[in-house]
Amino acid sequence: MKVFLLHRDRDFWIKPELQSDPVFRAMVDKSANPFAIENVKRNLEREREKHPDWVDSSPSSDDTLTQDLELTTVWRWMAAGDDFLYETAKRGLLSSLTDPSEILYRQQVLADCLAHAEIVGEIYGLALEGLQAEREAGSLWSGARPDMILHRSVQKLTLHVGVLRRLRQLAEKQGDVFQSEGFRRFVAMLREELDDEYLAEVEQHLGELEFKQGVLETAQFGKGLKGRHYVVRRQRELGWRERFTGRRRSSGYSFDLHPRDEAGFRALEDVRAHGINGVANAVAQSADHVQSFFTMLKLELAFYLGCLNLHEHLAAKGEPVCFPEPRTSGDLELTAAGLYDVSLTLHLEERTVGNDVHAEDKDLIVITGANQGGKSTLLRGLGLAQLMMQAGMFVGAESFTANVCTGLFTHYKREEDVTMESGKLDEELRRMSAIAAELVPHALLLCNESFASTNEREGSEIARQIVRALLDKRIKVAYVTHMYDLAHGFYEQKQVTTLFLRAERQDDGTRTFRLHEAPPLPTSYGEDSYRRIFADRLPDEAIAESR
């Protein structure tokens, strides 16, 4: 029994780094404590306060990506206040798919979720209810004996079976509305695997596991004639006379404990425990497996519920969304209409400005032009769309087609304070070398004013060498820069695989936030900003001169 709503043939794949942290452990903890995530986060926060000298010396590429693309904004809107949804959204978005057919599989399931949100919500509710079994059965003391383990597991499974039956009934009643391969498989599985006959079989076992007619076990001799290889055996049906007298006939020898022989009963319990141990383990593991099924069901649906929350908000604002068309990584494709920055729009009251990008067969996009002209926004929009596409989500655009990338990396100019310990250029180069250590062909690198911390000639030369190498390694690069030397250098090369975009400026100096295809210009518009901001301090002549 597998949920398989996020992948056709496997459980929710989450990249290992995002599975090993205490937060994730709390998310999938069997106890399904609703405050588990909150508690873990609070503890982490306390630890950090206790050790103010702890500095994240080398942030991971995920941390960098999160910062540069402002991913937390997206997750917050997906979560709508639910910690579990937040953490699931984060893991889903950062664990990119690279196979277009996997992406389409998710898009279809998501489409079903958008169309039948209430049913999906109902299934999610049943998953939560199933997870309650662990808490209701009480916690297991670490020194618990096999009979205690067995008893508790039978209790848990009894609760589980009730929820499973209702899940199957829901599948029977409403399951036909789903169109996606994922949901159709899920519904069919529930109907087939959890039919009444099977559930009755389970319930019969749960009854028998109380061993009302005693336990029959076999053993062999181990070291020093101590028993080993204990096995609990299914007992033969008792005859009517045996049932009548309550005494089972035996061909061997027997003895009875004195009812007050407490030590004897304890010792006998030990013999019994040896036999039951294996069965108790099997039943307890089965209960864990059912619990894991509910955990996975919750986890996978939580990702879609997050998507529903985000969708609802964007739709309410009138921002267009679409399911993108993913292409294979070798295709070198990037075409978008009305592409906008989802995280930016989540911050704003009004709608944002969309851009069209035609970068089919392009491996290098050089973005130049006026400051605050929408360069960074476009770059972030591109990154977000790419990431959301590869999570199987809709994207913030009217249409979007792109090849999947094998990894998404960002190299942004950092503010001063991060670079205390060493020179800015050192810091930039160190970050770049960390990225380079992770790059593989068909990755995508977004550079925002990289290597602007040194003089233009030096910065350009460094950047040129890096970019040239990456392109030869078939890595796609989108580079926002005001270094004319660098941008012009690329232009001179007249490579048909390079796209030049430029932030527009109206003649009156106002920005449209719209970019268009155009070669880099030798001057930037920094003076505009300068003039605007320093207007009160600059003499009129200076302003006139700068014209």
Partner 1 sequence: MATPDTQGLSAAYSQDGAAAETSSVQTAASEAPFYSILFESGTPNLDTVPEPGYFGDLNLDQVLEALAAGRDHYSLEPFFYLVLHDAEAVGYRHEVFRDLEREEVREPVERFAQAMTRMREHLAQVDKLRHRLQKQAWLLDAIEIYCRAVESLASELAELDLRARALDRWRRYLRAYAASERFAALVSEARELQNALGSLEYAVHIHGGHVSVERPQGEPDYGVEVEATFAKFQQGGVRSYLVRLNDYPEMDHIAGRILDLVAKLHRDVFGRLANYCDRSRGYLDEVVGRFDREAQFYLSYLELVDRFRAKGLQFTYPEVSDGSKAIDVAETFDLALADKLVPAGQKVVSNDLRLEPPERVFVVTGPNNGGKTTFARTFGQLHHLASLGVPVPGTRARLFLPDQIFTHFEREEDIETLRGKFEDELVRVHEILDQATPNSVIVMNESFNSTTLDDARTVGGGVLQQILDLGAPAVYVTFVDELASLSEATVSMVSQIVPDNPAERTFKVLRMPANGLAYAWAIAEKYGLTYDRLMETIPS
Q: Which of residues 5-44 bind partner 1 (CB under 8 A)?
A: 11
Q: How many whole angstroms separate alpha carbon 480 and alpha carbon 487?
A: 9
Q: Could you tell me the smallest distance in angstroms from the CB atom of residue 91 to partner 1?
A: 17
Determine whether 145 is exposed, middle or buried from the number of CB atoms within 10 Å of its CB (0-12, 13-18, 19+): middle
CB of 155 or CB of 292, closer to partner 1: 292
CB of 219 or CB of 471, closer to partner 1: 219
Q: For 53-145, where are the alpha helices, taking DSSP H only?
A: 61-68, 71-79, 83-94, 100-115, 117-136
Q: Does 278 bind partner 1 (CB under 8 A)?
A: yes
| Site size for partner 1 (CB under 8 A) | 72
Positions in 105-144 near partner 1 (CB under 8 A): 144
Query: What would the two tokens of residue 505 be?
Result: 């400026």
Among 120, 273, 382, 499, binds partner 1 (CB under 8 A): 273
Query: What would the two tokens of residue 344 be?
Result: 């930016």
Among 22, 175, 264, 338, binds partner 1 (CB under 8 A): 264
The residue assigned the tokens 């739709």 is 315
Q: Which helix (H) or strand (E) covers residue 315, if one does?
A: helix 262-317
CB of 292 or CB of 529, closer to partner 1: 292
Question: Does residue 444 sit in helix, strand or coil?
Answer: strand
Q: Could you tell me the smallest distance in angstroms from the CB atom of residue 392 to partner 1?
A: 22
Angle (CA) 134 137 139, round 5°: 75
CB of 296 or CB of 370, closer to partner 1: 296
Among 210, 261, 438, 472, binds partner 1 (CB under 8 A): 261
Question: Quick check: 352 and 340 in contact, CB under 8 A?
Answer: yes
* HSE-up of residue 357 (Cα within 13 Å, Cβ side): 34
Comparing CA positions, the residue from 347, 408, 346 lying closest to residue 383 is 408
> Segment near partner 1 (CB under 8 A), from 100-108, 245-253, 310-318, 357-365?
245-253
Query: What would the two tokens of residue 538 be?
Result: 């600059």
CB of 223 or CB of 537, closer to partner 1: 223
Q: Which helix (H) or strand (E) covers residue 203, if one does?
A: helix 196-208
Comparing CA positions, the residue from 473, 427, 421, 479 lying closest to residue 450 is 479
Q: Could you tell me the smallest distance in angstroms from the CB atom of residue 482 to partner 1?
A: 51
CB of 237 or CB of 536, closer to partner 1: 237
Q: Does 259 bind partner 1 (CB under 8 A)?
A: yes
Q: Does 234 bind partner 1 (CB under 8 A)?
A: yes
CB of 285 or CB of 422, closer to partner 1: 285
Q: Does 200 bind partner 1 (CB under 8 A)?
A: no
Q: Does 1 bind partner 1 (CB under 8 A)?
A: yes
The residue assigned the tokens 């003649």 is 507
Angle (CA) 349 355 357, round 5°: 155
Q: Could you tell me the smallest distance in angstroms from the CB atom of residue 108 to partner 1?
A: 24
CB of 153 or CB of 460, closer to partner 1: 153
Give residues with Cβ within 8 angstroms of 520, minimum separation 6. Answer: 366, 368, 369, 484, 487, 488, 491, 500, 502
> Segment near partner 1 (CB under 8 A), from 34-42, 243-251, 346-354, 430-438?
243-251
Q: Does 258 bind partner 1 (CB under 8 A)?
A: yes
Question: Does residue 410 sit in helix, strand or coil?
Answer: strand
> Segment near partner 1 (CB under 8 A), from 278-286, 498-506, 509-517, 538-546?
278-286
Positions in 149-178 near partner 1 (CB under 8 A): 149, 153
Q: How many whole angstroms separate alpha carbon 382 and alpha carbon 501?
A: 13
Q: How many whole angstroms separate alpha carbon 136 and alpha carbon 154?
A: 12
> Segment near partner 1 (CB under 8 A), from 95-103, 280-288, 348-356, 483-491?
280-288
CB of 303 or CB of 500, closer to partner 1: 303
Taking CB under 8 A as the rule, which mask of x and - marks residues 205-224 in contact with partner 1? x---x---xxxxxxxxx-xx
Among 90, 91, 156, 274, binds partner 1 (CB under 8 A): 274
Question: Does residue 517 sit in helix, strand or coil?
Answer: strand
CB of 215 or CB of 543, closer to partner 1: 215
Q: Does 188 bind partner 1 (CB under 8 A)?
A: no
Q: Could you tell me the smallest distance in angstroms from the CB atom of residue 382 to partner 1?
A: 37
Q: Could you tell me the smallest distance in angstroms from the CB atom of residue 23 to partner 1?
A: 20
Angle (CA) 311 313 317, round 5°: 115
Q: Which helix (H) or strand (E) covers residue 426, if one does?
A: helix 424-436
Q: Does 241 bind partner 1 (CB under 8 A)?
A: no
CB of 64 or CB of 153, closer to partner 1: 153
Q: Does 282 bind partner 1 (CB under 8 A)?
A: yes
Question: Quick check: 359 and 335 in contact, CB under 8 A?
Answer: yes
Question: Quick check: 18 and 91 in contact, CB under 8 A?
Answer: yes
Q: Could you tell me the smallest distance in angstroms from the CB atom of residue 85 to partner 1?
A: 22
Q: Could you tell me the smallest distance in angstroms from the CB atom of residue 404 to partner 1?
A: 27
